[in-house]
């Protein structure tokens, strides 16, 4: 059994209010639940706080601290801001292993410790009760429990990884931040490798074509390009994520309608938008 639950689907910064009620306002974080394995978290945005609260309930019910692994795509604030608010880190005996992109200078540990320390945060990372293990990850393949993970560098602003996770005969590709090319067509070999024939593609859909015309170097994709990637890689299901904070529920409804109306979408079984608290059950093959 493979199940994906969204805890944060927003990009750039969190947002709140009635206009964001249906899709949610927390930044990137999701849980991949694979039967028999420890929890697998993807990205550490503000949605991680709510996920941590759920984990604490489970840990206290069974009387054992959390043991989990996370895949971190990159170090922009919207993807790491939830880390110091992750409740299980207050539990002695808890452990969070983070695979994240190796940095051009210094280690992943150096970079994350620099982000969680005075004067930008009240305490240092090593003051948490739980253990945090950080693994510098490059373009490589490795295993987490029964899952096979492929990590590849993808176009974005700064060192960024996309991931492919395979377990129980199912496959998931996660590219939350992906710089679309100016021609709107060319797809890197790394992206095609990650997404090839995938059961579920979670892809950056932050901009409309009009927005991209003035933000072409901001590191993100359009809905149109996301559909193109899914079609070219023969993904069975596309879920658009990393919603722009300026896009409220009504805006996102319109973007979904556009995505589904594109000619290339005809070859994709399902096109949808990521929503907080929504789960996708991929079952097993």
The pLDDT tens digits of the residues spanning 192-216 come to 999 999 999 999 999 999 999 999 8
Q: 187: domain CATH number?
A: 3.60.15.10
Q: How many domains does the chain have?
A: 1
The pLDDT tens digits of the residues spanning 43-70 come to 999 999 999 999 999 888 888 899 999 9
Domain that holds residue 49: 2-283
Whole-model pTM: value is 0.96
Instruction: List strand residue ranges (DSSP E) for the chain, in order.
Output: 2-8, 29-34, 40-42, 67-71, 95-101, 131-137, 140-144, 147-153, 161-167, 170-175, 200-204, 237-241, 270-273, 279-283
What contacts 89, CB < 8 A, 6 or more positions away? 52, 96, 128, 129, 130, 132
């Amino acid at each position: 059994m493979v199940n994906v639950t969204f805890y944060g689907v927003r990009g750039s910064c969190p947002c709140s209010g009635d206009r964001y009620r249906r899709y949610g306002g927390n930044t990137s974080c999701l849980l991949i639940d694979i039967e028999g394995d420890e929890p697998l978290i993807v990205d550490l945005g503000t949605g991680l706080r709510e996920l941590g609260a759920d984990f604490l309930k489970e840990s206290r019910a069974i009387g054992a601290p959390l043991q989990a692994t996370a895949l971190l795509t990159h170090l922009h604030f919207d993807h790491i801001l939830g880390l110091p608010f992750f409740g299980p880190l207050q539990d002695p005996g808890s452990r969070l292993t983070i695979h994240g992109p190796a940095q051009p200078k210094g280690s992943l540990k150096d970079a994350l410790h620099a982000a969680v320390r005075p004067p930008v945060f009240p305490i240092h990372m090593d003051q948490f009760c739980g253990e945090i293990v950080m693994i510098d990850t490059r373009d490589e393949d490795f295993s987490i429990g029964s899952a096979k993970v492929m990590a590849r560098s993808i176009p974005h602003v700064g060192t960024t990884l996309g991931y492919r996770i395979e377990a129980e005969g199912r496959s998931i590709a996660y590219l939350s931040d992906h710089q679309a090319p100016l021609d709107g067509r060319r797809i890197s070999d790394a992206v095609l490798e990650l997404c090839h024939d995938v059961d579920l593609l979670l892809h950056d859909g932050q901009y409309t074509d009009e927005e991209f015309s003035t933000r072409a170097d901001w590191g993100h994709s359009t809905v149109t390009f996301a559909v193109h990637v899914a079609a070219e890689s023969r993904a069975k299901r596309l879920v658009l994520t990393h919603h722009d904070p300026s896009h409220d529920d009504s805006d996102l409804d319109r973007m979904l309608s556009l995505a589904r109306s594109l000619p290339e979408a005809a070859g994709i079984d399902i096109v949808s938008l990521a929503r907080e608290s929504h789960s996708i059950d991929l079952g097993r093959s």
